[in-house]
Amino acid sequence: MKLDYHNIKDEGRFTITSFQCGPSLQLLKEKGLYKIVWCTEGEERLIVDGYEVTLKKNQVLFCTPVNIINIPKDNYGLIAFVFNREFYCIQHSDSEVSCMGTLFFGSSNAPIINLTDKDQRSFNATLTLFQEEFDTRDHIQGEMLRTLLKRMLITSTRLIKIENNQADLSIKQVDLIRKFNILVEQNFKEKHQVADYAELLFKSPKTLSNFFKKHNVKSPLKIINERIAAEAKRLLLYSDKSAEEIAYELGYNEASHFSKFFKTQVGTSPLAFRKQS
């Protein structure tokens, strides 16, 4: 299955695919695409940023354009919703959907949600509406597809809040966590300390750390370090840049400081990690 929408005027693209043909798999090599991958049957082994991820029945994986994902052509039961920023700008629509920093951010682990039977019926119903809309070629087709995608994102955001024990938090509290994640994504190459982000959020580092601890959220420093390490691993795996060049790109003036940081986070040196992979 491969259903495509492409608006030539604004370059908006939206595709629903099972990744069982060459053109669909080619999408995984293109830049700037968000990918929502839903396993409807059995389980599938994918590679995300160089690591194996087992996606089980009724689990949904969310990947940003930053995440590098490989899917086997002979997969069974995968359905993906692929779109670019021109079709649906997550950043600009975030005040309504609140998925940036919740579903989509460049952390070391691409988020996965689990669908209950009720959620599965909701996703199936939405898929049916998507398929019907692809059969309707008119001037509002793109807007209808965006509306359905927005519904899916809102549903998924609610689910991940429940799974992350954030369902009982106030909008203001959830927003603080989201804003922190967004700021890390925007600044991790230059800002490595909790104090840097606390200042941007008009909080003290202690207040920020205590808030995350109180609500059982990964510590701010851990989120920062994991984001830097994730980018380092991607560059080591998928680029020809030297460890020294990667160190400078990630804001380290001394390659030795970066190497020490990487070994602490990953358990091996950058060069050893590249050779092992």
| Residue whose structure tokens are 């370090």 | 225
Last residue of a domain, which of 113, 135, 163? 163
- pTM recorded for the entire structure: 0.82
Tell me, yes or no, whether 157 and 270 share the same domain.
Answer: no
Please check whether residue 63 is in contact with residue 108, taking contact to mean a CB–CB distance below 8 angstroms. no
The predicted structure's pLDDT at residue 94? 57
Picking from 138, 163, 188, the residue at the C-terminal end of a domain is 163
User: Tens of pLDDT along the chain (277 residues)?
Assistant: 889 899 888 899 999 998 877 777 888 888 889 999 999 999 999 988 888 899 999 999 999 888 888 888 787 889 999 999 899 876 665 555 556 667 776 555 788 999 999 999 999 999 999 999 998 888 899 999 999 999 999 899 888 888 777 666 777 887 888 889 889 988 999 999 999 999 999 999 999 999 999 888 889 999 999 999 999 999 999 999 999 999 999 999 999 999 999 999 999 999 999 988 7
Domain boundary among 102, 135, 163: 163
Q: What is the pLDDT of residue 96?
A: 52
- Residue 175's pLDDT is 80
- CATH code for position 178: 1.10.10.60
Q: What pLDDT was estimated at residue 124?
A: 94
Count of structural domains, the chain: 2
Query: Domain limits at 195?
Result: 171-276
Instruction: Give the whole-angstrom CA distance, residue 128 versus residue 203.
Output: 46
Label residues 199-228 b or e (16+ Cβ within 10 Å = b): eeeebebeebbebbeebebeebbebbbbbb
119 lies in the same domain as 187: no
